[in-house]
């Protein structure tokens, strides 16, 4: 019998960020605990992290590569070898490249996984501009790009230094549950314990809103109006940091002129938030020193998201909370930029990116980000119709589009039209059931990687290490490298370890050395713009008036726009659909469509829950625990009612990500409770990002 060995790694049941101790005996993992030495989680794990081992050993995992038998989506499979799987994929890809060009191959991936950058790299090496992720237009990238354009760098709340924020403005965000992008839920929790107070902007009394000093319960989808009116208060009441604004920003006068019309009284009508509350929040935030912004995904689910992100980003700018202790901090970036191989993608290929002509900030055009992405609705259309050119193959590395993309019926139709669908996943999902070939993916306990946290700022760099390998699973990066080799590509073929070592060079470490240490931290440096004597924007200032947006033909200043389906935009729908629908507020036990098959987690949250105000429920004869229909113009689903005073009587909230692994193959109940049967992926989109509307829609609810 082997000795018990304890290995340092980093959990990846979400976007990651928690240091973990993996206890290994006789070649298998026997326990996973939080690493007490980890600067991020200090020994703690959330329920998902604590269930890692159940996921690892789950009997329903995909164990071998498989090829479909019979018709697509019939649910019959045969086991094949990795060689057979990879060779048959390569044969088909070569055929497509020869006939139509590499752009006819689409590559999909899910949200912020360990292998995120490698997918972009593989697409570049292959020569296709058409990779996508359900988050590119809908999650994180709008915020990231708004930061890049306005400030020249990504910024995150400083929960990591000696000074803690006096106030945290949590906007459309429930970080005590979600803690995305390696900010993890524990960092805010610790900050609250050290005395931080909260202002929370959320239509629901979320776990985070429950801790708030000031809770702004806005009408869903009106974040732009609220942010603009807070800017109005800060400017008209001269609450801004005059010195910072004068020295380090450009366009303040134009901004002042723009927001003049957006008074708190104007905003009250639109947002439902009383004008005096808006004033209180703006004054409190402006007078707190330091104060930080912790923003979330909620406003990226409506089509004015980019200008909304710009407006919200200006709140900490005007109050001088940029790159100061306890405010917002920016990149140490000790690993430099990932080797994306962007130079491999020809101008010609770049121009063919689906959506590139229309959505100029969805990716790199005009913005210094090396990861342009395809527009998902355009990609689906190319699969279905061959317009503007056909997409014939789709390789998915860890995403579940039938559940997580808007309009899953159209997704199904699009996937069904492909010549080749490959899905690499840990489980047989409803999407994987549509594939020609499925590939078994390694869980985080079976994979090597390095990741800086918080993502895009990299204060702490963690190793994730492969401690076991069950069945025939492989990690996604290895598969992409192997495909590149078999396709005879000129780049993207080096072994993974070589890239991991290269990434750590600037830190003076090899991957082997980082594995021993678990993580390294870089000292925090503040006010880097003073040393550089500039922000990394074209004018060298924080661009309140964005020269880049102006150059691209967009409004250089933020503005208000109603969501396309709302009580104000489509009042004619109110008679049939009188309630406002929000979808996808996260729950602690699942990550999107994952983990419904993990008993320890599912027991804690067995059913999809729709939240309804008791007054609304009473009127409709709905009682606690009833299964009810939620219906929009596009479809209807069932979820189980939970009555709560913590939501406005005019608003209901459904969970996203639901399918039922325990139900019959191949559908696994994907059409029963899937929130995206209610959403739409059609226009109008955010003009800069191509964002579609996942929240703030109109619906009705009734008993089943």
Ligand X SMILES: Nc1nc2c(c(=O)[nH]1)N[C@H]1C(S)=C(S)[C@@H](COP(=O)(O)OP(=O)(O)OC[C@H]3O[C@@H](n4cnc5c(=O)[nH]c(N)nc54)[C@H](O)[C@@H]3O)O[C@H]1N2
Question: By the criterion CB under 6 A, which residues form the site for ligand X?
Answer: 14, 110-111, 113, 134-135, 138-139, 171-175, 177-178, 180, 201-204, 206, 218, 220-221, 223, 296-299, 301, 397-400, 404, 424-427, 429, 441, 476, 582-586, 588, 590-594, 656-657, 675-676, 679, 694-696
Q: Is 252 exposed, middle or buried (0-12, 13-18, 19+ CB in 10 A)?
A: buried
Of these partners, ligand SF4, Mo ion, ligand X, none, which one is at the site of residue 479 (CB under 5 to 8 Å by kind)? none
Closest to ligand X by CB, 117 vs 543, is 117
Are β-strands 579-583 and 651-654 bridged in parallel, bridged antiparallel, or unpaired? parallel
Closest to Mo ion by CB, 135 vs 339, is 135
Of these partners, ligand SF4, Mo ion, ligand X, none, which one is at the site of residue 49 (CB under 5 to 8 Å by kind)? ligand SF4
14 is an interface residue for ligand SF4 by CB under 6 A: yes
Q: Is 337 exposed, middle or buried (0-12, 13-18, 19+ CB in 10 A)?
A: exposed
Query: Of 13, 21, 148, 628, which lies in the binding site for ligand SF4, with binding defined by CB under 6 A?
Result: 13
- In the bound complex, what is the minimum distance in angstroms from residue 11's beta carbon to ligand SF4? 3
518 is an interface residue for ligand SF4 by CB under 6 A: no
- In the bound complex, what is the minimum distance in angstroms from residue 657's beta carbon to ligand SF4? 15
- Which residues are CB-neighbours of 103 under 8 A, at least 6 positions away? 127, 128, 129, 130, 349, 352, 389, 391
Q: 3-class DSSP state for residue 506?
A: helix
User: Rounded distance, CA 215 to CA 195, Å?
Assistant: 17
Closest CA to 644 of 656, 652, 636: 652
Closest CA to 690 of 303, 407, 354, 379: 303
Closest to ligand X by CB, 472 vs 550, is 472
Which of the ranges 109-117, 381-389, 542-550, 560-568 carries the binding residues for Mo ion, by CB under 5 A? Answer: 109-117
Strand partners, 358: none
Helix (H) or strand (E) run with residue 20 in it: strand 19-25
Closest to ligand SF4 by CB, 14 vs 647, is 14
Query: Of 17, 34, 108, 135, which lies in the binding site for Mo ion, with binding defined by CB under 5 A?
Result: 135
Are β-strands 19-25 and 328-330 bridged in parallel, bridged antiparallel, or unpaired? unpaired
- In the bound complex, what is the minimum distance in angstroms from residue 160's beta carbon to ligand SF4? 16
Closest to ligand X by CB, 249 vs 681, is 681
- In the bound complex, what is the minimum distance in angstroms from residue 125's beta carbon to ligand X? 18
- In the bound complex, what is the minimum distance in angstroms from residue 40's beta carbon to ligand SF4? 8
Q: Which of residues 180-219 bind ligand SF4 (CB under 6 A)?
A: 184-185
- In the bound complex, what is the minimum distance in angstroms from residue 112's beta carbon to Mo ion? 7
18 is an interface residue for ligand SF4 by CB under 6 A: yes
Closest to ligand X by CB, 17 vs 129, is 17
User: Rounded distance, CA 53 to CA 58, Å?
Assistant: 8
306, 691 Cβ separation under 8 angstroms: yes
Query: Of 29, 32, 48, 221, which lies in the binding site for ligand SF4, with binding defined by CB under 6 A?
Result: 48
Of these partners, ligand SF4, ligand X, Mo ion, none, which one is at the site of residue 13 (CB under 5 to 8 Å by kind)? ligand SF4
- In the bound complex, what is the minimum distance in angstroms from residue 297's beta carbon to Mo ion? 5
Are β-strands 131-132 and 105-109 bridged in parallel, bridged antiparallel, or unpaired? parallel
Closest to ligand SF4 by CB, 45 vs 120, is 45
45 is an interface residue for ligand SF4 by CB under 6 A: yes
Of these partners, ligand X, ligand SF4, Mo ion, none, which one is at the site of residue 609 (CB under 5 to 8 Å by kind)? none
- In the bound complex, what is the minimum distance in angstroms from residue 432's beta carbon to ligand X? 8
User: Rounded distance, CA 673 to CA 692, Å?
Assistant: 20
User: Rounded distance, CA 307 to CA 301, Å?
Assistant: 13
21 is an interface residue for ligand SF4 by CB under 6 A: no
The values of phi and psi at residue 645, to 5°, are -75, -10
172 is an interface residue for Mo ion by CB under 5 A: no
Q: Could you give the strand order of the β-sheet that contains 28-34, starting from the edge strand earlier in sequence?
A: 5-10, 19-25, 28-34
CA 48 centroid distance within chain: 17
Query: Of 10, 41, 52, 111, which lies in the binding site for Mo ion, with binding defined by CB under 5 A?
Result: 111
Closest to ligand SF4 by CB, 49 vs 449, is 49
Report the residue number whose CB is nearest to ligand X.
Answer: 584
456, 113 Cβ separation under 8 angstroms: no
134 to 348, 377, 470, 674: CA distances (angstroms): 25, 10, 29, 16
Query: Of 17, 112, 370, 518, which lies in the binding site for ligand SF4, with binding defined by CB under 6 A?
Result: 17
Closest to ligand X by CB, 175 vs 390, is 175
User: Rounded distance, CA 240 to CA 320, Å?
Assistant: 8
The values of phi and psi at residue 130, to 5°, are -100, 70
278 to 242, 319, 320, 515: CA distances (angstroms): 21, 16, 20, 49
646 to 177, 343, 354, 611: CA distances (angstroms): 16, 51, 41, 9
139 is an interface residue for Mo ion by CB under 5 A: yes
Placement of tokens 């003073």 in the chain: 530
- In the bound complex, what is the minimum distance in angstroms from residue 527's beta carbon to ligand X? 28
- In the bound complex, what is the minimum distance in angstroms from residue 448's beta carbon to ligand X? 12
Closest to Mo ion by CB, 135 vs 221, is 135
* Binding footprint of Mo ion, residue count (CB under 5 A): 3
Placement of tokens 């726009």 in the chain: 561
Q: 3-class DSSP state for residue 238?
A: coil
- In the bound complex, what is the minimum distance in angstroms from residue 434's beta carbon to ligand SF4? 28
Report the residue number whose CB is nearest to ligand SF4.
Answer: 49
Placement of tokens 């995909």 in the chain: 62
Exposure string of 18-41, with b = 16+ CB inside 10 Å and e = fewer, is bbbbbbbeeeebeebebbeebebb
585 is an interface residue for Mo ion by CB under 5 A: no
- In the bound complex, what is the minimum distance in angstroms from residue 301's beta carbon to ligand SF4? 22
Closest to Mo ion by CB, 293 vs 701, is 293
The values of phi and psi at residue 553, to 5°, are 90, 15
> How would DSSP label each residue in 87-109?
HHHHHHHHHHHHHH-GGGEEEEE
- In the bound complex, what is the minimum distance in angstroms from residue 580's beta carbon to ligand X? 9
- In the bound complex, what is the minimum distance in angstroms from residue 49's beta carbon to ligand SF4? 2
473, 462 Cβ separation under 8 angstroms: no
Which of the ranges 12-20, 301-309, 394-402, 490-498 carries the binding residues for ligand SF4, by CB under 6 A? Answer: 12-20
Which of the ranges 13-21, 74-82, 260-268, 450-458 carries the binding residues for ligand SF4, by CB under 6 A? Answer: 13-21
Of these partners, Mo ion, ligand X, ligand SF4, none, which one is at the site of residue 184 (CB under 5 to 8 Å by kind)? ligand SF4
Interface residues with Mo ion (CB under 5 A) are: 111, 135, 139
Interface residues with ligand SF4 (CB under 6 A) are: 11, 13-14, 16-18, 41, 45-46, 48-49, 179, 184-185
């Amino acid at each position: 019998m082997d000795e018990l060995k304890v290995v340092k790694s980093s959990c990846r049941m979400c976007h990651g960020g928690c240091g973990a101790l993996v206890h290994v005996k006789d070649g298998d993992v026997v326990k996973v605990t939080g690493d007490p030495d980890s600067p991020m989680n200090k020994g703690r794990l959330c329920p998902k992290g604590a269930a890692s081992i159940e996921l690892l050993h789950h009997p329903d995992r995909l164990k071998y590569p498989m090829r479909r038998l019979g018709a697509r989506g019939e649910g019959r499979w045969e086991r094949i070898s990795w060689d057979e799987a990879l060779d048959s994929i390569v044969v088909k890809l070569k055929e497509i490249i020869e006939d139509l060009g590499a752009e006819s191959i689409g590559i999909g991936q899910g949200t912020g996984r360990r292998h995120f950058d490698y997918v972009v790299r593989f697409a570049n090496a292959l020569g296709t501009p058409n990779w996508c992720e359900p988050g590119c237009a809908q999650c994180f990238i709008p915020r990231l790009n708004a930061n890049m354009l306005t400030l020249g760098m990504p910024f995150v709340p400083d929960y990591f230094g000696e000074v803690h924020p006096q106030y945290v403005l949590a906007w459309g965000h429930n970080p005590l549950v979600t803690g995305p992008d390696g900010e993890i839920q524990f960092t805010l929790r610790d900050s609250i314990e050290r005395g931080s107070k909260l202002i929370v902007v959320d239509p629901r009394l979320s776990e985070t809103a429950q801790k708030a000093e000031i809770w702004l319960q806005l009408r869903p989808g009106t974040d732009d109006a609220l942010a603009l009116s807070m800017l109005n208060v800060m400017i008209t009441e001269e609450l801004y940091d005059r010195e910072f604004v004068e020295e380090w920003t450009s366009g303040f006068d134009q901004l002042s002129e723009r927001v003049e019309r957006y008074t708190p009284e104007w905003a009250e009508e639109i947002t439902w938030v009383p004008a005096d509350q808006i004033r209180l929040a703006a004054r409190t935030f402006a007078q707190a020193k330091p104060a930080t912004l912790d923003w979330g995904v909620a406003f990226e689910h409506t089509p004015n998201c980019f200008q909304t992100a710009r407006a919200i980003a200006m709140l900490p700018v005007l109050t001088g909370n940029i790159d100061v202790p306890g405010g917002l901090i920016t990149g140490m970036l000790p690993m430099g930029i990932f080797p994306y191989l962007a130079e491999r993608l020809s101008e010609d290929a770049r121009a063919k990116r689906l959506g590139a002509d229309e959505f100029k900030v969805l990716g790199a055009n005009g913005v210094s980000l090396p990861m342009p992405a395809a527009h998902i609705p355009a990609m689906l259309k190319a699969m279905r119709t061959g317009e503007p050119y056909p997409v014939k193959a789709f390789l998915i590395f860890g995403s579940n589009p039938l559940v997580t993309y808007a309009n899953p019926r159209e997704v199904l139709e699009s996937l069904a039209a492909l010549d080749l669908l490959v899905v690499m996943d840990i489980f047989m999902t409803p999407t994987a059931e549509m594939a020609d070939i499925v590939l078994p993916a390694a869980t985080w306990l079976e994979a090597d990687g390095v990741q800086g946290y918080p993502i895009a700022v990299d204060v702490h760099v963690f190793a994730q290490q492969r401690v076991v390998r069950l069945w025939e699973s492989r990690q996604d990066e290895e598969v992409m490298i192997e495909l590149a080799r078999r396709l005879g590509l000129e780049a993207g073929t080096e072994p993974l370890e070589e890239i991991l070592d290269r990434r750590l060079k600037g830190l003076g470490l090899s991957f082997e050395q980082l594995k021993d240490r678990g993580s390294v931290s870089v000292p925090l440096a503040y006010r880097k713009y003073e040393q550089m004597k500039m922000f990394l924007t074209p004018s060298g200032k924080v661009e309140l008036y964005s020269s880049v947006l102006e150059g691209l033909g967009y409004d250089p200043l933020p503005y208000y726009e109603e969501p396309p389906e709302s009580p104000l935009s489509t009042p004619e729908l109110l008679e049939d659909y009188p309630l406002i629908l929000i979808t996808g507020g996260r729950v602690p036990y699942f990550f999107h469509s994952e983990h419904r098959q993990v008993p320890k987690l599912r027991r804690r949250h067995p059913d999809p829950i729709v939240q309804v105000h008791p007054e609304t429920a009473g009127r409709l004869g709905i009682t606690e625990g009833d299964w009810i229909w939620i219906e929009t113009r596009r479809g209807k689903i069932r979820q189980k009612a939970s009555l709560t005073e913590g939501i406005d009587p005019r608003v209901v909230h459904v969970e996203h990500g639901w399918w039922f692994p325990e139900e019959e193959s191949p559908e696994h109940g994907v059409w029963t409770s899937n929130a995206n049967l209610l959403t739409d992926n059609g226009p109008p989109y955010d003009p800069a990002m191509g964002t579609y509307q996942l929240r703030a829609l109109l619906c009705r609810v009734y008993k089943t």
